[in-house]
Amino acid sequence: MARGRQKEVWVCRDCATEHPKWQGQCTGCGEWNTLEQALGAQPASGRTGSGWAGQVSTVTRLAEVGLDAQPRIATGMRELDRVLGGGLVPGSVLLIGGNPGAGKSTLLLQVSCDLAARLGVLYVTGEESLQQIALRARRLELPQEHLKLAAETRVEAILAHASREQPGLVVVDSVQTLQTEAVDGAPGGVTQVREATARLVRFAKESGAIVVLVGHVNKEGGLAGPKVLEHMIDTFMMLEDASDSRFRTLRGHKNRFGAVNELGVFAMTDRGLKEVANPSAIFLSRDAEPAAGSLVVVVWEGTRPLLVEIQALVDESQGAHPRRVTLGVDANRLALLLAVLHRHGKVAVGNSDVFVNVVGGIRVAETASDLPVLLAVISSMRNVALPRELFAFGEVGLSGEVRPVPNGQERLREAAKHGFKRAVCPIGNKPREPIAGLDVLAVRTLKEALDALF
C-alpha cells in the first residue's frame, strides 16, 4: 500500500532515519537535535507494486562487460582532473562541498566557461544573481560566448531547461537552495534536498549529462543536509581553505570512478583559482628561526610528495586530566605514540598537556608522520630546537621499532631538492646510493633516533 500523503514523520537531517514522533536524539545515528518534521516519503516512481513488472534486465558475464562506454572529459584543470581520477565521467553526479568563500562557485564557473564550447554547459544558480556571475566571468576574463545561465531553484524548471538545451554538463549552485513540487517541506530541508537530488541523479543517468552540485558545510565542517546525499551521488569532493592562506586543497572523499587519495592544490588569485602544479613545498615557510617543537615531514599525497611542518607543544597541565589535542593528525594515534615513547624511549610526558599541529591546515593521514611527531614532542619538552635543515619520516610500531613507509627514495630526494641536508628515516628506506648533499640517518628503533638527536 502506498503511504498516505498526509502522514507526518520526523526525519533525521544527517542519516534520514524516520521517526513517528519528535524526539531529542535520533535513534539511527545518535545525533541530538537533528530531527525535522516532514511529510511521509512519496513512493518513488517506478519502484512500487506493478512498477517492477515493466523492468527487464539481463545477466552478463563479468568478462564480457564492455568498457568503451566510459570516456573521460578532461576539464582543462589538471589539479581537478587529478582528483577526479582523470576527468569527468558522462552520466555521473558530483557533489563539491566547502566553507563559504572557499571558491566553489569560482572554480565551477571557470570550469563551466572553459567547457561550454566543447560540451554545452548549463550553469544554474540559486544563490547569486545572473549579474553577479557575469561580473565575475568578465573580471576573470573567462570565455563567455557559449555558457548558458539560469537563476532557478525549482528542480522541475531546471530539468525543463536542461531537456531543451541538452547540455553535457549541468552545474547547480547550491543543492541547499533546491526545491521540488513533488514533496512538501521547506527548501533546504531534508525531504526537499533528498528528493531534488534524486531527480537530478535520475536525469544524469537517463541523459548521460554530468551533474555537478555545490553543497554547503555545517558548523562541524561536514556536508550540510542529509547524509544520504553522499550515497546518492558518484563523487564527493571538498574544497578546503588552508588556514588563512591563499591556497585551497581539493580532496576526494568518495569517487566511484577513481581513487580518493589524490590531493589537488590551487591558489586563489585576483584572476580566480590557479592550479599549483608543484605543491611540494608551498606549506613551508623557510625563513623562520629554528624553534623548539617543530620538524618537517615528507608526506605522500596520492602520487606526490608534500613537505609539511609539524609543531608540538608540551606544557604543564592545569587540570587533573592532561590534554592531548591534535590538529591535522589523529588524536588516537598521538595517544598510542606517547605510550610507545614512554615504554621504549623512556620519556614520560605524564601529566603534561600535549598539543600537535600540522601547519597550513593540512591533514596528515599517513603513519609516516609518527617519528616526526615524537621528535617534535621531545624537542618541545626539552626546549631544544632541531636544526632547520633536518627532516624526518617513518612509522613507529608498538614495540618501538621504526618501520619503512612507501616511496622512501622519492621523499628523500624531494626534501634534498628543497635544500634539506639531514634526514632521519627508517632503515628500510635507506637509499642504496647516497643522495647528493643529503646526510641520511637510517634508524631501526625509536631509541636510536632519540640517542642520535637529543
Q: What is the binding site for Mg ion (CB under 5 A)?
A: 105
Nearer to ligand TYD, 145 or 270 (CB): 270
Among ligand TYD, Mg ion, none, the one that 106 touches (CB under a kind-dependent 5 to 8 A) is: ligand TYD
Q: What is the contact mask toward ligand TYD in residues 344 to 383, using x (rule: CB under 6 A)? A: ----------------------------------------
Closest to 233 measured CA to CA, from 207, 257, 197:
197
Q: Which does 272 bind (CB under 5 to 8 A by kind): Mg ion, ligand TYD, none?
A: ligand TYD
Least distance (Å) between residue 368 CB and Mg ion? 35
Nearer to ligand TYD, 247 or 420 (CB): 247
Minimal distance in Å, beta carbon 268 to ligand TYD?
5
Q: How far is the CB of 45 from ligand TYD (least distance, A)?
A: 33
Taking the least distance from each CB to Mg ion, the nearer of 105 and 112 is 105
Beta strands in 115-168 (DSSP E): 121-125, 148-151
Q: Judged by CB under 6 A, which of 17, 75, 105, 249 binds ligand TYD?
A: 105
Distance in Å, CB of 270 to Mg ion, minimum: 18
Residue 270 binding ligand TYD, by CB under 6 A: yes
CB 352 within 8 A of CB 315: yes
Q: Which residue number, 108 or 296, has a Cβ lying nearer to Mg ion? A: 108
The minimum distance between CB 179 and Mg ion, in angstroms, equals: 18
- Specify the residue, 122 or 349, whose C-beta has the smaller distance to ligand TYD: 122
Please say whether the beta carbons of 162 and 122 come within 8 A: yes
> Which residue, 224 or 347, is less far from ligand TYD as judged by CB?
224
Least separation in angstroms between residue 323's CB and ligand TYD is 33
Q: Which is nearer to ligand TYD, 140 or 440 (CB)?
A: 140
Q: Which does 305 bind (CB under 5 to 8 A by kind): ligand TYD, Mg ion, none?
A: none
CA 198 and chain centroid, separation: 23
Cα(150)–Cα(158) distance, integer angstroms: 8
Q: What is the 3-state secondary structure (H, E, C) of 104-123?
A: HHHHHHHHHHHHHHHHCEEE
Residues 129-158 that bind ligand TYD (CB under 6 A): 136, 140
Task: Judge residue 307's burial from the number of C-beta atoms within 10 Å of its C-beta, 0-12 exposed, 13-18 middle, 19 or more buried.
Answer: buried
Secondary structure of residue 191 in the 3-state scheme: helix
Rounded Cα distance between 396 and 453, Å, is 16
Cβ closest to Mg ion, residue 250 vs residue 308: 250
d(CA 11, CA 9): 6
**What CA–CA distance (Å, rounded) separates 123 from 121?**
6
Contact 169, 210 (CB under 8 A): yes
Closer residue to ligand TYD (CB): 103 or 328: 103
> What are the two backbone dihedrals, phi and then psi, of residue 184, each rounded to the nearest 5 degrees?
-85, 180
* In the complex, minimum distance from the CB of residue 87 to Mg ion, in angstroms, rounded to a whole number: 23
With a CB cutoff of 8 Å and minimum separation 6, the contacts of 103 are 239, 241, 248, 266, 268, 272, 273
User: Can you give the three-state secondary structure of 261-322, one letter per residue?
Assistant: CCEEEEEEECCEEEECCCCCCCCCCCCCCCCECEEEEEEEECCEEEEEEEEEEEEECCCCCC
> Identity (one letter) of the amino acid at 150?
A
State in angstroms the smallest separation of the CB of 391 from ligand TYD: 32
* Binding span for ligand TYD by CB under 6 A among 101-109, 164-172, 194-202, 352-360: 101-109
Applying CB under 6 A, which of residues 85, 91, 97, 103 lies at the interface with ligand TYD?
A: 103
Phi, psi of 279 (to 5 degrees): -85, 10
As measured in angstroms, the least distance from the Cβ of 104 to Mg ion is 5
**What angle, 0 to 180 degrees and rounded to 10, lies between the N-to-C axes of helices 370-382 and 331-345?**
70
User: 98 touches which of ligand TYD, Mg ion, none (CB within 5 to 8 A by kind)?
Assistant: ligand TYD
Stretch that binds ligand TYD, among 102-110, 192-200, 418-426, 443-451 (CB under 6 A): 102-110
Contact footprint for ligand TYD (CB under 6 A): 98, 100-106, 136, 140, 268, 270-272
